[in-house]
Amino acid sequence: MKDSVRNIQGWLLFTPAAILLLAFTHYPTVTTFFQSLYTNKSIIRPRRFSGVEAYESMFSDPIFWKVFVNNMWLALGTIPTSIGIAILMALIVNKAIPGRGFLRMAYFTPTMLPMIAVANIWLFFYAPDIGLIDKVLEIFGFEGNNWLGNPSTVLPSIIVMTVWKEAGLFMVFYLAGLQTISPELEEASKLEGSSRWNYFWRIQFPLLLPTTLFVLINAFLNSFKLVDHLFVLTKGGPDNASNLILYYIYETAFSFLDISYASALTIFLLALLALTALAQFFFLDRRTHYR
Amino acid sequence: MSAIEVKNLSRSYGDIEAVKDVSFTVPEKSFTVLLGPSGCGKSTILKMLSGLEKVTHGIINIAGADVTDVEASKRGVSMVFQSYALFPHLNVKENIQFGLKVRKVPSEEREKKVKEAANAVGLTDLLDRKPANLSGGQRQRVALARSIVSDQSVCLMDEPLSNLDSKLRAEMRDEIRDLQKRLGLTVVYVTHDQVEAMSMADQIILLKLGKIVQVGAPEEIYNSPNSVFSAQFIGLPPMNILNINEIDISSLDSKIYSEVDSNKNIKDIGVRPEHIVFSKKGLSVIVKSIDYFGGETVFKLTHKEKDFFLREPRQPKIQLGDKLCVSWSLDDMYLFDKNDQRLKS
């Protein structure tokens, strides 16, 4: 077959995917970028070029900084904990123990639930006085707390819920990772007198590094992407104590109808996530063993 | 003194008995092979010796001490696994010294030992490589070095050569045997390959369905098998087993005929392929196939629809379908009873 014919065939195969990507990913991204460079159009004022004004006001906006810091705390609070719990759960259900199938299912259930349903369940746990947590505290004679209404406990409460929801998903990845490790490696290290912990730390954990890299990127992206629960639980309150970047973007764009500022926020989020993904990829990739 | 003593060892999984009442001893500095077809319990026995598998009944003594309930790392054994069990993220050196680090051996001594072991197996130039960048034979050497460096007197090997191609397998066979002699190791070696067993072992323990069939030096098992199973498992092609009711025994040599006819317990007679010769008189056969191997020729013959083999070092001018006669001498014939046990004459 001639090269030109092969080239045309190649392009034809590529076209459907390219159209979808261009229409729903690249075009909106580029439009958003341009929108962030212009002011909003209204009846009395036409659109005008404003350059980086929207970005300047973003960096001087105290609410922006608040939601950004909130988001960082959420990432810091959920990622190490959920990875740790996921590895632990995976190690447990990787062993030949009775009821293993049931345990695996139980650990995975929170992941299968939609975020809105999870939020509804936790709304019941966190409800002041009548909620599960306050009821249990009452039995032991502790005073209850309005977990979601108190600015100092609302973000930790949401972190706990996110860990509960995400650990099961990460467990599945770790379980898959563990099962690619030959059981003979454990036998060999046992014969050498290696303790369970030493085996985990010297053998299993390094061999799980590719999984960890994957989970790390996903967990970080999720901590910026998952905001469904805010609609049910707090709407970002009280006083933006639980507000997150994506929810703030949504509010700015569709409640305050400030498209220009929302576009600037979106571009910022996009840049942040892209840079993080690249940094993680290049930094961790070098030190990670791939088979 | 014997390095390993096993008494009445059994292992069952639920109702399935994988190993049934097995007893044997392994002399110090000897090479003992556990040989048998798959599912005969040989790997289970090895794992019980190593401590990686629990013992249902019985006692294991290693170097004079009862280790039946002692954990794996305290038994004084090292092991070479079928898949080599190398740690893929560690380089050759790290792999070899893994156990030394666990046991907190000082770094100078560690270096020295790794060097010696790497030298012994010819890995000195490859210490920085990862297992993924090694050939099968080199990986095998790393596994051996790891076992040597542990300084245990007993080395257990679980089909260590089964993942190698046949040329490399022959090389490694010599090398392992040489290493065992040089370092004075006591080796227990599991295999289903009778060629490995014959060429390497000081002692073969032949197993079938979790039970010991016969124990002895290779030549002992080859020359005086105690049963049809022993006779057929060792030797290639295997010993010909002929049911006396299915062959025309009257056509055989008169001495053989009277011997076979005199004992009512005889069910089968066995003759090794190399002991059967073409002759003027004897069992009438038709040549069914001829396999020429250079150093020898193996003929598949048929007599009354019963196939058997004849092995010849020369290349006689014989064609497919030729009608000939074969015979053998009385001394080369083995007799078996209806329970497939050898009858001593």
Eight-class DSSP state of A145: -
Q: What pLDDT is recorded for position A14?
A: 92
- For residue A183, whether the previous peptide bond is cis, meaning omega lies within 30 degrees of 0, is no
CB contact under 8 A, A203 and B87: yes
Residue A9 lies in a domain: no
Structure ipTM: 0.79
A246 domain-assigned: yes
A46 interfacial to chain B (CB closer than 8 Å): no
Each of the 291 residues of chain A gets a pLDDT tens digit; together they read 678 888 999 999 999 999 999 999 999 999 999 888 888 887 788 888 887 888 888 888 888 899 999 999 999 999 999 999 999 999 988 887 888 888 888 888 888 888 888 888 888 888 887 888 888 888 887 777 778 888 888 888 889 989 998 888 999 999 999 998 888 899 999 888 888 899 999 999 999 988 888 888 888 888 888 788 888 888 877 888 888 888 999 988 888 888 888 898 999 999 988 888 888 777 766 655 554
* Number of domains into which chain A is organized: 1
Q: Which of the residues in chain B have pLDDT under 50? A: none
Q: In this predicted structure, what is the pLDDT of residue A1?
A: 63
Q: Cα-flanking dihedrals φ and ψ of residue A272, to 5°?
A: -60, -50
User: What integer pLDDT is reported at residue A291 of this predicted model?
Assistant: 46
Domain, as residue range, for A216: 61-290
Q: Evaluate whether B11 touches B44 at the Cβ level (below 8 Å).
A: yes
Chain A residues near residue B50 by CB distance under 8 angstroms: 187, 191
Of the partner residues A188, A192, A291, the one whose CB lies closest to the CB of residue B88: A291
What does the block give as tokens for B336?
């078996």
Answer whether residue A18 is part of any domain. Answer: no
Identify the pLDDT of residue B214: 94
CB contact under 8 A, A194 and B98: yes
CA–CA separation, B239 and A95 (whole Å) = 46
- We report the CATH number of the domain holding residue A174 as 1.10.3720.10
DSSP state for residue A135 in the 8-state scheme: H
Shortest CA gap A202–chain B (Å): 9
A69 Rama sector, left if φ>0, alpha if ψ -120 to 50, beta otherwise: alpha
CA angle B44, B175, B190 (to 5 degrees): 10
Alpha carbon of residue A150 to chain centroid: 24
**Which residues in chain A are closer than 8 Å to B150, comparing Cβ atoms?**
192
- B24 DSSP β-pair partners: B6
Contact B81 A190 (CB under 8 A): no
- Cα-trace Rg, chain A: 24
* Packed helices A115-126 and A154-179: angle between N→C axes, nearest 10 degrees: 130
Contact flag B52-A191 (C-beta cutoff 8 Å): yes
Question: With an 8 Å Cβ cutoff, are B52 and A203 in contact?
Answer: no
Residue B105, Cβ density class (10 Å: 0-12 exposed, 13-18 middle, ≥19 buried)? middle
B333 CB within 8 Å of a chain A CB? no
Q: What is the pTM of this model?
A: 0.78
On whether residue A181 sits in a domain, the answer given is: yes
Domain membership of residue A274 (yes or no) is yes
Virtual torsion, Cα B239, B245, B246, B251, nearest 10 deg = 90
Residues B218, B233 contacting (CB under 8 angstroms): no
Chain position carrying tokens 């317990």: B265
| Closest-CA residue of chain B to A180 | B88
Predicted confidence at residue B9, as pLDDT, reads: 92
What confidence tens digit (pLDDT) does each residue in B167-224 have? 888 888 998 999 899 988 999 999 999 999 999 999 999 999 999 999 999 999 999 9
A285 part of a folded domain: yes
Q: Is residue A16 part of a domain?
A: no
* Residue A205 domain flag: yes
Non-local CB neighbours of A49 within 8 Å, separated by 6+ positions? A37, A38
